[in-house]
Amino acid sequence: MDAIDLIELDEAFAPQVLAVVKAWGRSADNSWHERLNVNGSGISFGHPIGVSGARIRGTLAHELRQRDLR
């Protein structure tokens, strides 16, 4: 996880992130959460029917470029 600068998760519903964090073996209070869905998520953006994955990839690519990250 330390090699990852930003993380973009598809949040179809709020508890999904908690389940992913638990599966990763991370606690919600770790500093890495500041790299998670930095501009909000599917809950705030809405879900484009059938293209949530494309929205996630586009958002992540744009933010990585803006921040000069990998």
What digits encode the pLDDT tens for the residues 19-65?
887 888 866 566 777 888 888 776 666 667 777 788 888 888 988 99
Structure tokens at 70: 């990998």
Total Cβ atoms within 10 A of residue 33: 14
Residue 12, pLDDT above cutoff 80: no
Which pLDDT score is estimated for 44?
66
CB-CB contact of 11 with 41 (8 Å): yes
Which pLDDT score is estimated for 35?
84
Structure tokens at 18: 């908690």
Which pLDDT score is estimated for 65?
92
